[in-house]
């Protein structure tokens, strides 16, 4: 390997260099701007990400190269995810500008960290070597630890972040121990080399087996798959709402982008010799579906509800990754398509919840009572989003589930597809609970402004009594439409995010063909054998 080899096609990394420079620029501009103009940084970051997505498409479309002697891949797969992550970043930034302005200190650094985490995600989709994958994963995780802790005075944000960083660091240690075992048995850490090593020799050595299992376990923590999901509900609930959305959508998609490439390039080619990884994934998938959806039934906090429901969705996605096969793109297509559809739909729900929180400072399910009267647009958006998440037709949620579950059933895991459909039905129940609050329950009295920093004890246990008392003392509440307080209109940026998300939710549900073509070209890049 000569130095020329290493720098020959360095220009393919331009989008990453631009993004890193841009993130640093945002940090510097943060120092120069006065406090009332800090939201300009949000708009600038969103604009920059749009530009970056365009730049990536113009520069990298059709490329299929590898950089640094095979550490990073620039192919249709990484390009697809690059554009996808930039899109998520734009929508998250647009929906968080108001929230950040109203509730958080240090807005400039918030956007800078977000940009760095997107850099980490892009690299995760590109990396085809364990150490590179790990470093980019940590770039994403470190940004997320800080962003979860961003509400400095809020003990819940603190607690969520502490739990997140301790479990995150533990999972990195487990992942790295797996990496060191793979390295000490093979002497290499590139995905392709792992596949080659798995294919040759009499038996797969137990040390290699254990190392790969530890890597899968470490990634399971990052995915929040049962039994490694304990951090997710607390981190989701404690985090500021836009960060919760970011955790639920982006970090999940990025972790799956990495897992998908790892499985497709390192494990799938050796599927005849070593297929135990499928069993691990199938067990994790089944447990995630069951635990996520069943525990979600008991939740009162919207963020926690979304956290457990996202654990359930990770279960479906894992089922898709378990059926990856050398001769069929169905599983990979299903997973990538599911990631896009799930992100679009969750974006609608979270943007509407952020708008609701900006207006009221509330995030418990009973607080949504009467939202259909108070702010019909938001209620409709949340309802459509939740219907889509539970998988009802015409919305994208149905199409992605249909596609993914068909792929799972086709590969012979009929019972797993059945379990997925059954747990989707369960999920409809708790989503409908939220919709019932919005459309059937009468609106409560005007919300107290500025109680967003309620402590958890009050938030979870004391609120039912408080509401019961309100009902006793003010019987007028039982006559809806007489005393409900309309909410102020959400800001144009939030309306735009919700509107675009709604259009995409329905359009992709009715006519997914163009997106599916892109998805197929992406999965063909990591599974060239089929």
Partner 1 sequence: MVPLVAFQVLSAALFAIGLYGVMARRSAVLIVMSIELMLNAVNINLIAAASHLDGMGKWANFDGQIIAIFVITVAAAEVGLGMAIILRMYRNRSTVNVDEINLMKW
For partner 1, the binding residues (CB under 8 A) are 131, 134-135, 138, 142, 145-146, 149, 152-153, 155-156, 158-163, 165-166, 169-170, 172-174, 176-177, 179-181, 183-184, 187-189, 233-234, 237-238, 295, 298, 304, 455-457
Give one DSSP letter per residue of 407-446, joined into a string. Answer: HHHHTT-HHHHHHHHHHHHHHHHHHHHHHHHHHTSPP-SP
Element (H, E) at 24: helix 14-32
- Rg of the chain, C-alpha, whole Å: 23
Residue carrying the six token digits 């390295």 = 183
Helical packing angle, 76-103 and 39-60, nearest 10°: 180
Q: Which is nearer to partner 1, 273 or 453 (CB)?
A: 453
Q: Is 161 in contact with 197 (CB distance < 8 Å)?
A: no
Closest separation in Å from C-beta 455 to partner 1: 7
Comparison of 254 and 355: residue with beta carbon closer to partner 1 = 254
| Residue 178 C-beta: closest distance to partner 1, Å | 9
- If the CB atoms of residues 266 and 404 are measured against partner 1, the closer one turns out to be 266
| Residue 526 in tokens | 């990591």
Closest C-alpha to 481, from 372, 355, 367, 347:
372
Query: Which residues are within 8 A (CB) of 474 and not within 5 positions of it... i.e. 6 or more apart?
Result: 445
Question: CB of 260: closest distance to partner 1 in angstroms?
Answer: 23
Distance of CA 93 to the CA centre of its chain: 15
Q: How far apart are CA 152 and CA 154, in angstroms?
A: 6
Name the residue nearer to partner 1 (CB basis): 116 or 337.
Answer: 116
Whichever of 238 and 512 has its CB closer to partner 1, that residue is 238
The minimum distance between CB 172 and partner 1, in angstroms, equals: 7
Shortest Å distance, C-beta 153 to partner 1: 7
Question: Which residues pair with residue 73 across a beta bridge?
Answer: 66
- Decide whether 189 or 278 has the Cβ nearer to partner 1: 189
Residue 10's closest CA among 53, 56, 62, 74? 74
Closest by CA to 318, choosing from 281, 275, 289, 292, is 281
CB of 50 to partner 1, least distance (A): 30
Contact 201, 210 (CB under 8 A): no
CB 453 to partner 1: min, Å: 11
C-beta closer to partner 1: residue 138 or 483: 138
How far apart are CB 35 and partner 1 at their closest, in Å? 22
Q: Which of residues 24 and 298 has its CB atom nearest to partner 1 in the complex?
A: 298
């Amino acid at each position: 390997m000569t130095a020329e080899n290493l720098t020959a096609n360095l220009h393919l990394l331009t989008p990453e260099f631009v993004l890193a420079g841009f993130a640093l620029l945002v940090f510097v501009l943060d120092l120069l701007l006065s406090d009332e103009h800090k939201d300009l940084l949000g708009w600038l970051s969103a604009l920059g990400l749009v530009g970056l997505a365009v730049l990536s498409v113009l520069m990298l479309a059709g490329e299929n190269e590898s950089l640094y002697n095979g550490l990073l891949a620039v192919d249709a797969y990484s390009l697809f995810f690059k554009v996808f992550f930039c899109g998520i970043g734009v929508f998250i930034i647009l929906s968080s500008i108001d929230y950040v302005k109203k509730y958080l200190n240090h807005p400039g650094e918030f956007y800078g960290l977000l940009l760095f985490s997107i850099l980490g995600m892009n690299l995760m989709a590109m990396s085809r070597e364990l150490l590179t994958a790990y470093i980019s994963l940590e770039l994403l995780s470190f940004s997320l630890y800080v962003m979860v802790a961003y509400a400095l005075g809020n003990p819940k944000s603190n607690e969520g972040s502490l739990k997140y960083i301790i479990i995150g660091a533990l999972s990195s240690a487990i992942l790295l121990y797996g990496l060191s075992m793979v390295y000490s048995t093979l002497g290499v850490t590139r995905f392709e080399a792992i596949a080659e090593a798995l294919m040759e020799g009499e038996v797969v050595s137990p040390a290699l087996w254990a190392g790969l299992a530890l890597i899968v376990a470490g990634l399971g923590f990052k995915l929040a798959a049962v039994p490694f999901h304990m951090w997710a509900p607390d981190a989701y609930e404690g985090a500021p709402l836009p960060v919760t959305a970011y955790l639920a959508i982006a970090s999940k998609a990025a972790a799956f982008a990495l897992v998908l490439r790892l499985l497709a390039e390192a494990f799938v080619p050796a599927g005849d010799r070593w297929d135990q990884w499928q069993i691990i994934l199938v067990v994790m998938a089944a447990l995630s579906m069951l635990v996520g959806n069943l525990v979600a039934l008991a939740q009162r906090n919207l963020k926690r509800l979304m956290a457990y429901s996202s654990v359930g969705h990770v279960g479906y996605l894992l089922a898709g990754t378990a059926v990856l096969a050398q001769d069929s793109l169905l599983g990979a297509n299903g997973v990538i398509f599911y990631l896009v559809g799930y992100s679009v739909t969750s974006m609608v729900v979270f943007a509407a919840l952020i708008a609701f929180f900006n207006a009221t400072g509330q995030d418990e399910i009973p607080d949504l009572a009467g939202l259909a009267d108070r702010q019909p647009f938001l209620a409709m958006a949340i309802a459509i989003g939740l219907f889509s998440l539970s998988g009802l037709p015409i919305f994208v949620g149905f199409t992605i589930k249909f596609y993914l579950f068909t792929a799972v059933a086709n590969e012979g895991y009929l019972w797993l597809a059945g379990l997925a459909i059954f747990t989707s039905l369960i999920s409809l129940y708790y989503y409908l609970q939220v919709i019932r609050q919005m459309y059937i329950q009468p609106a409560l009295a005007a919300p107290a402004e500025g109680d967003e920093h309620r402590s958890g004890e009050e938030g979870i246990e004391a609120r039912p009594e408080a509401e019961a008392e309100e009902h006793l003392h003010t019987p007028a509440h039982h006559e809806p439409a007489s005393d409900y307080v309309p909410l102020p209109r959400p800001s144009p940026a939030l309306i735009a995010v919700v509107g675009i998300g709604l259009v995409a939710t329905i359009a992709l549900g009715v006519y997914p063909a163009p997106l599916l073509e892109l998805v197929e070209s992406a999965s063909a890049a990591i599974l060239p054998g089929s």
